[in-house]
Amino acid sequence: MPGFLWSSYVVSAGWGWLVEAEDFWLEYVNGRGELHSGPFEAMWSTRFEAAGQVRTFPSYRGQRNFPGWYWAATSGELVGFESWVELGHLMRLDSEPDVVAVASQPFRLSWRPGDQARRISHTPDYFVRRRDGTAVVLDVRPDDRIEPEDAVKFAATAAACAVVGWDFERVGVLDPVLAANLRWLSGYRHPRVRREPVAAGLRAVFTRPWGLLAGARAVGDPIAVLPVLFHLVWCRELAVDLQAGLLSAATMVRPASAVAGEASGDADASEAAVAG
H or E element, residue 183: helix 176-186
Rounded Cα gap, residues 7 and 166, in angstroms = 15
Which amino acid is present at 26? L
Task: Note the pLDDT of residue 11.
Answer: 46
Rounded Cα gap, residues 201 and 210, in angstroms = 14
Summarised one tens digit per residue, pLDDT across range 66-108 is 899 999 999 999 999 999 999 999 999 999 999 999 999 999 9
CA angle 176, 261, 203 (to 5 degrees): 75
Task: Note the pLDDT of residue 9.
Answer: 53
Is domain 10-171 annotated with CATH 3.40.1350? Answer: yes
Which residue did the predictor score with more confidence, 129 or 118? 129
Task: Note the pLDDT of residue 7.
Answer: 52
Rounded Cα gap, residues 216 and 218, in angstroms = 5
Q: How confident is the model at residue 274 (pLDDT cuts 50, 70, 90)?
A: very low
Is the pLDDT confidence value at 2 over 50? no
Is the pLDDT confidence value at 24 over 60? yes
Percent of the chain with pLDDT over 90: 71
Query: 3-class DSSP state for residue 100?
Result: strand
Name the β-bridge partners of 19.
10
Lowest mean pLDDT among 103-107, 127-131, 262-266: 262-266
The whole model's pTM is what? 0.84
Cβ(160)–Cβ(24) under 8 Å?
A: yes
Summarised one tens digit per residue, pLDDT across range 200-246 is 999 999 999 999 999 999 999 999 999 999 999 999 999 999 999 99
Which amino acid is present at 29? V
Which amino acid is present at 56? T
Domain borders along the chain are 10-171, 176-275
Rounded Cα gap, residues 5 and 128, in angstroms = 23
Cβ(79)–Cβ(70) under 8 Å?
A: yes
According to DSSP, the β-strands at 238-239 and 108-111 are: unpaired
Nearest alpha-carbon partner for 237 in 274, 205, 265, 214: 205
Q: The dihedral of CA 46, 49, 52, 54: what is its sign? A: positive
Phi, psi of 79 (to 5 degrees): -125, 135
DSSP conformational letter for 119: -
Task: Note the pLDDT of residue 136.
Answer: 98
Cβ(109)–Cβ(122) under 8 Å?
A: yes
Summarised one tens digit per residue, pLDDT across range 167-206 is 999 999 999 999 999 999 999 999 999 999 999 999 999 9
Please state, rounded to an integer, the average pLDDT across all residues of the chain. 87
Summarised one tens digit per residue, pLDDT across range 25-79 is 999 999 889 999 999 989 999 999 999 999 988 777 777 778 999 999 999 999 9
